[in-house]
Chains A and B, each alone.
Chain A
Amino acid sequence: MASPEHLAKASLYEARKGVYPKKVDGFFRRFKWGIMAVTLAIYYGTPWIRWDRGPYAPDQAVLVDLAHRRFYMFQIEIWPHEFYYVAGLLIMAGIGLFLLTSAVGRAWCGYACPQTVWTDLFQHVDRLIDGDRNAQIRLANAPWSVNKAARRGAKYLVYLVIAFWTGGAWIMYFADAPTLTHDFWTGQAAPIAYGTVAVLTATTFILGGFMREQVCIYMCPWPRIQTAMMDEKSLLVTYKDWRGEPRGSLKQAQAHPGAFGDCIDCNQCVAVCPTGVDIRQGPQIGCITCALCIDACDGVMAQIGRPRGLIDYCTLEDAAAEQAGGTSKPVRKTLMHPRTIIYFSIWSAIGLAMLFSLGQRTRLDLAVQHERSPLYVQLSDGGIRNTYTLKLRNMEARPRRVSVSVSGLAGAALWSEDGAREDARQSLDVALPADSVTRVKLFVAAPGGGPARQDFTIATRGLDGDPRGDSETIQFDRPET
């Protein structure tokens, strides 16, 4: 048995090593700014876009109406039984990630992942309040003082405001945004709204303010999955060690021309890294390929008069080619290889199929359930009655009138719960309120003495201009003779 003192020395647990990324400017940094602006604008702004759907449906462009079980996305309205469209979207998102990974590596991680975007945002807050990298390190190591406490307090307050705003924006997707905002601040919103905002505020505060790269390294499954999907044709942020090594300071390199590579060991690539890795150690789980080290290194190379791209996006194939003295393929060619083309074809096929079926789907849906207890009822005149429950879904945002009729059942007459057999007819008119499900109990009587089981068709037809409807074939039962 090892003694406790020994275990303490071995330290099985490791405190987080602070990451204080340095400010950097360059192409990729600006690109990241752009993506951050777009993604945050989409996240915070989408619920506020209005979309007129007439008097019977909400006018919010994107709305997940859990209470009424409707999902609105611009002119598309999804009902719960059409959930396969959502499943399709999720599959597209999954294949989209595969496509992105096989083409440009961990671009999702580096630019668009919410964890990256919010971490980036919080790191800007750090710089705004504590100063750049060196000031942050100094403050972190300084003993507690009024100044440090004030700065920490201010920083956490800003974190909290951002986190609260993030959580607050989330709930806007689930209810009418202006109404919910009013209700939220006047204490009239549902408890679940406050609960959701509280949870998301807490997670944003903790994950964005403190966990940061720990989420990517220890918690997120995606980096591990991605590792299996990258190949020699995937773009990676690569330190071109064949060009950079052996490293030497500028002075050493000037003293011994030809003895050193381009890397002057200035450590700028490490200083700017938001996850605190050293890219010169090669591809690693901590590298989210945000390309900020490329910006930093390019800046240094420009200063010392060397060509840019000592650290650059590069596929393993290109790396091998360059190492052997060849040239790398142009990016356009790198992107077009069988894997990306196959992924893209699957991705777009699913998308097109969904669009096609969206255009073709009926907005007047009929579902019929045959009453099973009893399956049939003997009527006193010798006829047989079967009972069906019709679920008529009017998925349009307007009230409709439809007729329900039967075919394929000789001598059939039908009436609903409100009617009686005396006024039974061949068809039945039903008024359907806008955007709703109407249940109709349908009694169908037919002469006895037919087959014990007989298929017939119940069909609906619009009576108000658009005659398209739906039909279902179902069984009519008679007693076995």
Chain B
Amino acid sequence: MADHKRIDEATGTSTVGHEWDGIEELNTPLPRWWLWTFYATIVWAAVYVVLFPAWPMIDGATEGLLGWSSRGQLERELAVDAKRRAPIVQAIGAAELADLPARPELMQAAVQGGGAAFRVHCVQCHGAGGAGVKKLYPSLTDDDWLWGGDLPTIQDTITHGIRNPDHKQTRMSQMPAFGRDGILEPAQIADAVSYVRTISRQEKPGASSARGAAIFETNCAVCHGASGEGGRQVGAPKLTDAIWLYGGDRASLTATITQPRNGVMPRWGERLDPVTIKMLAAYVYSLGGGEKLAPPAGGTAAPDGRQADGKP
């Protein structure tokens, strides 16, 4: 290998002095600041490795002098957010539940907080957005309620649950298994089904439904009401409307009368704090079916919750 630098004629650039079989390398030097920038990045990396978690070990990584971790950062951010929310959560806790709709700023926060809790605790049965599951769990978005749809009633249902045998204040009722336990003959059940389908305007009255009316009066009216309007004290559904939790066709109704489901909902009063339950009630109320309490006095004031500058 020859070792002589020379100026390349075509480019006017000096060569680095290497030559391999007549092939030479031009020397177009890198700016020196570039080299220093490169060194600076190495120093940066060295400092970073010491300060932050870096080297993977068998069960974790080196912790770094600053003690930073993404989980720790998340916890700090959550703590900051909890602090930010504290005043409004406190205000919701202090407010009378039935007054929430009249206080939009609290109601909005409650609906949001309730929505978050709903997505954790309730969607498993009641579905996303409270849509319910056909023939299993009731929709919370419609205008038909088994136990009542005003705010305190919803709160009560969430707190104490439905048909919890080990809890005194739970909502309790039991529809007898008319078919399974032999209370009614299959033909009688068929007549009762005809009658129920008649009062819900799914079938025209006939001989069967006329027979069914008598059966209804003796067996069903005590809970479901004389005209099938339902009874909320015992969670007996209205039978005259278009909403059927377990189906309104002949087969479904026959199955229900033969062996009722008597659905169960856990009580949340022991698992969730009162404010969360309040917010859950507000959320369920807001889904479209919320019922107003019988007003004690005249009109409700709805002040504008937005600030004057238009930034909510």
Residues of A whose CB lies within 8 Å of any CB of B are 2, 6, 9-16, 56, 68, 211, 214, 218, 371-374, 377-382, 385, 387, 394, 399, 417-418, 420-421, 431, 433-436, 441, 443, 448
Q: In the assembled complex, which residues on chain A have CB atoms less than 8 Å from the CB atom of B308?
A: 433
Q: Report Cα–Cα, A153/B292, bound state, in Å.
A: 77
Q: Which residues on the B side are within 8 Å of A433 (C-beta)?
A: 306-310, 312
Q: List 15 A-B contacts (CB under 8 A).
A: A12-B16, A13-B34, A16-B31, A214-B33, A373-B129, A374-B127, A377-B139, A378-B142, A378-B243, A379-B143, A380-B238, A380-B242, A433-B312, A436-B312, A448-B242
Would A421 and B143 count as touching, CB distance under 8 A? yes
Q: A10, B5: Cβ atoms under 8 Å?
A: yes
Contact check: which of A12, A373, A377, A394 meets B128 at CB < 8 Å? A373
Contacts of B292 in A (CB 8 A): 420
Please give, as numbers and ranges, the residues of chain B lying within 8 Å of A387 by CB-CB distance: 141, 288
Tell whether A431 pairs with B311 under 8 Å between CB atoms, given A13-B30, A13-B31: no
Whether B242 pairs with A14 at a CB distance below 8 angstroms is no
Q: Is B35 an interface residue (CB 8 A)?
A: yes
Contact A436 B131 (CB under 8 A): no
Contact, CB under 8 Å: A435 / B310:
yes
Assembled-state Cα–Cα distance A214/B289 (Å): 70
From B5, B30, B35, B142, A380 is in contact (CB under 8 Å) with: B142
Contacts of A421 in B (CB 8 A): 143
A456 to B110, CA, bound (A): 32
CB < 8 Å neighbour of A14 from B31, B144, B302:
B31
**Interface of B, helix, strand, loop or mixed by DSSP:** loop
Cβ-based interface call for B261 (8 A): no
Chain A nearest Cβ from B9, distance in angstroms: 15
Report the minimum CB–CB distance from B8 to chain A (whole Å).
14
Apart from A10-B5, A373-B131, A394-B310, list 8 A-B contacts with CB within 8 A.
A6-B17, A11-B27, A14-B31, A372-B129, A379-B242, A399-B310, A431-B304, A436-B310
Cβ–Cβ < 8 Å partners of B286 in chain A: 417, 441
CB pair B34 A218 closer than 8 Å: yes
Set of chain A residues within 8 Å of B241, measured between Cβ atoms: 380-382
CB contacts under 8 Å to A, within B110-157, are 127-129, 131-132, 139, 141-144
Inter-subunit contact A211/B33 (CB<8 Å): yes
Set of chain B residues within 8 Å of A373, measured between Cβ atoms: 127-129, 131
List, in ascending order, chain A residues with CB within 8 A of B143's CB. 379-380, 421
- List residues of chain B with CB within 8 A of the CB of A379: 142-144, 242-243
Q: What are the residues of chain B within 8 A of A13 when measuring CB–CB?
A: 29-32, 34-35
Size class of the contact patch on chain B: 35 or more
How many angstroms from the CA of A211 to the CA of B309 in the assembled complex? Answer: 47
Residues in chain B near residue A16, CB distance under 8 A:
31-33
Q: Which residue of B33, B139, B242 contacts A374 across the interface (Cβ within 8 Å)?
A: B139
Nearest CB in chain A to that of B307: its residue: A433
Give every chain B residue within 8 A of A374 (Cβ-Cβ): 127, 129, 131-132, 139, 141
Indicate whether B3 reaches chain A with its CB closer than 8 angstroms.
Answer: yes
Name the 10 nearest CB pairs between A and B, nearest first: A433-B310, A380-B241, A374-B131, A373-B129, A14-B29, A436-B310, A373-B128, A382-B242, A10-B16, A13-B32
- Complex Cα distance, B129 from A285, in Å, reads 63
* Docked CA distance A435–B144 (Å): 39
A residues near B17, Cβ cutoff 8 Å: 6, 9-10
The residues of B that contact A434 with a CB separation of less than 8 Å are 309-310
Distance between B177 CB and nearest chain A CB, rounded to angstroms: 26
In the assembled complex, the CB of B235 is this many whole angstroms from the nearest CB of chain A, namely 16
With CB as the reference atom, state the residue of chain B lying closest to A206.
Answer: B33
Question: Cβ of B211 < 8 Å from any Cβ of A?
Answer: no
CB within 8 Å of A: which B258-312 residues:
286, 288-289, 292, 302, 304, 306-312
Residues in A with CB closer than 8 Å to B131 are 373-374, 377
What are the residues of chain A within 8 A of B33 when measuring CB–CB?
16, 211, 214
A381 to B142, CA, bound (A): 11
Q: Which residues does chain B contribute within 8 Å of A417, judged by CB atoms?
A: 286
Whether A443 pairs with B35 at a CB distance below 8 angstroms is no
A7 to chain B: closest CB distance in Å? 9
Nearest-neighbour CB distance to chain B for A22, whole angstroms, equals 24
Distance of A372 from chain B, by nearest CB (Å) = 8
